[in-house]
Amino acid sequence: MSFLCIRALLLRALMLLVSLPLMAPSAASADYRAGAVAVPLAGGLERETATIAYAIDSVVRQSHRVEHVDLAIRAEGREVFQERQESARRARSLYDQGVEAYQNFEFATALHALEDAIAAFEDSDLTEFFPDLLEAYAMQAATAYFNGDVDGARTTIRRLLSLRSNYVFDGRLFPPDIREVAESIRSEVEQESRNPLEVIVDQTNARVYVNGVFRGISPIEIRNLLPTRHHLSLVSLGFEMLQEEHRAAPGALVRLAMTPAADGAAVSGLLSNLERALSQGKVSEPSASIARWAGVDEVLAAGVARAGGGALRVMMARVASDGHVLAKGEHELSIEDPAGLSELAAFVSQLFSDDFPRGPGNEPVVRELRSTMVIDRTTIGYLTGGGGVAAGIGGAIMGFRARQAQAAAKAIPQRRQEEIQETMGRAKSSALIADVLYGAAFVGVVAGVYLAMPALQPEGPQEVPQRGLREDWFSMVPVPLGDGAMLTVGGRF
């Protein structure tokens, strides 16, 4: 055995005397369960609604009052969900076996268990368990190093840092000399060129996670990625989660199709009912139906409509599974503003601060939202165009009457000049009205086509918007983690 391996083993034995057991973290649980959902109340707001839904869902996820239930995961069906959870449990078990073998200096056994753990973590929900996958990579690197495979340790460290360049190595696993090697690899990785990856999903606006981190809503161009394989996770209500590996490179484009979830049809019907109800200011029954379907105690339901000045109005209500409205409110924001989602998160947190009282005998109390008629540009275009068509029809009718009156005037004997003049007057009036209606028809049809043009264009490949730095706004956590604090500054400077 080389001097390096002997020295590493001695250092490892010393660290074992002072280190704590290295075990995968366990998830917290709660008895009261809640989920969140948002629907667009106007055409063309699907992507904005998906972004707002993620922000609201994040508040529920991080709330200490409830156990969060992701409705997109719930819609996949119990079997699919349990399969991924079983992969995570198997991965944790294999990881623990690898740690135990590592602590007993059984490095070959540890490497085999950790390799299987990495494969199992990759089959789990990486939006939740990606940090565990990184820990498994780190453990594999440390084990390879102490087993004398320095090149293998370097390869694993490079793979780990290519996925999370700011990863912090545990001093209990890595002695100073291997940490020095890891930092040199980090310097090399940080100097590598960054590349984009464009992601388009055909059927829906999906939440896009790269290496376990939320990066935005599809279609999206994800920038500043290292030139390596990255774990891509797509989540959308009504579809099965899609997880694949893709390499970032100049001009890299990934066009994906998601599989409808087991409860996809049921979810579509529930969302349609919620959309119709919210447009009329009603929220209780459709939200309660979603809560009962999801098996949760309450649902935070939101409708997204357009407001003046390019802003969006979000109408929200917390509704229990029996229809009782726990809280409600409205908030205006612009997701073009970096502080917009944080302000929305603060508003959602406020909704969780107090509950409306129930009626006598704990009966549910229905409180509806303010009724709103959502008329967007496309709707105005259809109405204007329809008015133009109606004016054209009216012009045709009046023109026909004018021609009839003119023909009748010609048939009147010349000696009845007074009757002729009266008939010609009616013909001229009808012709004038016809001309005015034709002009109104032309203006109405042209304006209607212009306003409704986005909806009239044939569906084709979606263009990925050039988002610039907006992707960084999406990647910000809208509310603080744990016991942290948040400071939001709004306005123009």
Is the same domain home to 82 and 72? no
User: Whats the size of the chain, residue-wise?
Assistant: 493
Helix, strand, coil fractions of the chain, as percent rounded to 5: 50, 15, 30
Is the same domain home to 52 and 82? no
Element (H, E) at 456: helix 417-456
Of 150, 169, 190, which closes a domain?
A: 190
* β-sheet with 67-68: strand ranges across: 67-68, 33-40, 298-306, 312-320, 325-333
Is the same domain home to 370 and 257? yes
- pTM exceeds 0.85 for this model: no
Q: How many Å apart are CA 236 and CA 346, to the nearest integer?
A: 24
Position 489 scores a pLDDT of 44
Position 391 scores a pLDDT of 81
For residue 146 the two structure tokens come to 């102490």
Position 20 scores a pLDDT of 36
Total Cβ atoms within 10 A of residue 187: 10
Q: How many Å apart are CA 43 and CA 455, to the nearest integer?
A: 9
Is the same domain home to 61 and 47? yes
Position 460 scores a pLDDT of 43
Residue type, 443: V
**At 147, which CATH number?**
1.25.40
Position 370 scores a pLDDT of 63
Cβ-contact 488, 476 below 8 angstroms: no
Q: What is the mean pLDDT of each run of 10 residues along the chain (493 residues)?
A: 45 40 38 93 92 91 87 89 94 96 94 97 95 96 93 95 92 83 93 93 93 94 93 94 94 93 91 93 93 94 88 93 93 82 88 87 79 58 82 85 80 77 81 84 81 54 41 43 46 41
What range does the domain containing 450 cover?
Answer: 377-456
Is the same domain home to 248 and 317? yes
Q: Where are the alpha helices (DSSP H) in 305-354?
A: 340-351
Is the same domain home to 381 and 472? no
